[in-house]
């Protein structure tokens, strides 16, 4: 019965641990890595403690005939030029008395290459094509930009002075609404006034003397905004 369920799981493209144990999989991955062409490597390495990642990353196929069944394991590879750290861009308004500006972006995900020379941009729809796990695996269908190529999102990440000219902006008249965004285990906040204090669960008020935006590990439960003499 267990063999039947393992085969059914494999037919869905997943690697069952009951058919290929971690020790066996580690041996397979090691043999693959020893026969790769230059500049290619396994996407999550070959360390024994990282083998569990491949049960999410690999895809399998069953090929059989009257004499037996073979299990084909498809292992993702990478090169240095195809390995990126993925960031999500959170857009907050910028206070410019008496109004507020807010950038309009076409891409809200920014992938930075390991050597920080190239980057790529993802929309929400592009990210839906990726396989999300401990290591996000995406098809090579998005453009690759050199860090010197100016885009709105790239200029914001690299803090280029041309961001204001490259990015489209909305003018928010008399904007007074605070913003609170949840991403992973963090909360990013923004308040229209340049000075604020916010209360976290179990803590006293935490004051930020100059910035009205930031990141906190816990969601603020009460907020009070104070006036400030800071000018921008």
Q: How far is CA 161 from the centre of its chain?
A: 25
Percent of the chain exceeding pLDDT 90 equals: 11
Is 78 or 182 the better-scoring residue by pLDDT?
A: 78
Give the list of residues 6+ apart from residue 23 with CB closer than 8 angstroms, or none: none
Q: Which CATH architecture has domain 80-171?
A: Beta Barrel (2.40)
Q: Is the pLDDT of residue 171 over 60?
A: yes
Six-digit token pair at 87? 């960031």
Is 184 or 54 the better-scoring residue by pLDDT?
A: 54
List phi, psi (to 5°) of 32.
Answer: -65, -45
Percent of the chain exceeding pLDDT 70 equals: 72
Q: What is the pLDDT of residues 195-230, one digit of tens each?
A: 444 444 444 444 444 456 667 666 554 433 333 322
Q: Of the segments 77-86, 110-119, 181-190, which one has the largest average pLDDT value? A: 110-119
Q: What is the pLDDT of residues 57-112, one digit of tens each?
A: 888 998 888 888 888 998 888 876 677 888 888 887 776 666 777 888 999 899 98
User: Residue ranges of the domains in the chain?
Assistant: 2-78, 80-171, 176-232
Is 179 or 17 the better-scoring residue by pLDDT?
A: 17
- Among the residue ranges 4-18, 104-118, 179-193, the one predicted with the least confidence is 179-193
Residue 22 has a pLDDT of: 93
Q: Is pTM, for the whole model, over 0.75? A: no
List phi, psi (to 5°) of 221.
Answer: -100, -20
HEC string of 71-117 equals EEEECCEECHHHCEEEEECCCCCEEECCEEEEEECCCCEEEEECCCC
What mean pLDDT is reported for the chain?
A: 76
Residue 182 host element (H or E): strand 179-183
Residue 86 has a pLDDT of: 87
């Amino acid at each position: 019965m267990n063999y039947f369920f393992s085969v059914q799981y494999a037919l869905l493209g997943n690697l069952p641990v009951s058919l290929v144990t971690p020790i066996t999989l580690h041996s397979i991955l090691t043999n693959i890595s020893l026969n790769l062409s230059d500049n290619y490597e396994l996407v999550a390495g070959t360390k024994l403690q990282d083998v569990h990642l491949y049960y999410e990353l690999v895809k399998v196929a069953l090929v059989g005939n009257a004499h037996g069944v073979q299990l084909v394991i498809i292992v993702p590879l990478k090169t240095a030029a195809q390995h990126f750290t993925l960031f999500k861009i959170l857009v907050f308004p910028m206070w410019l008395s008496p109004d507020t500006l807010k950038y309009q972006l076409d891409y809200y995900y920014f992938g930075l290459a390991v050597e920080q020379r190239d980057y790529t941009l993802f929309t929400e729809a592009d990210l839906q094509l990726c396989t999300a796990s401990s290591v996000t695996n995406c098809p090579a269908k998005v453009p690759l930009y050199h860090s010197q190529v100016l885009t709105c999102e790239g200029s914001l990440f690299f803090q280029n002075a041309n961001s204001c000219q490259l990015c489209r902006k909305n003018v928010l008249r008399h904007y007074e609404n605070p913003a609170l965004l949840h991403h992973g285990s963090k909360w990013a906040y923004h308040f229209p006034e340049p000075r604020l204090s916010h209360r976290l669960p179990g803590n006293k008020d935490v004051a930020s003397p100059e910035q009205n935006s930031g990141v906190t590990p816990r969601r603020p439960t009460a907020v009070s905004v104070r006036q400030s003499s800071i000018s921008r």
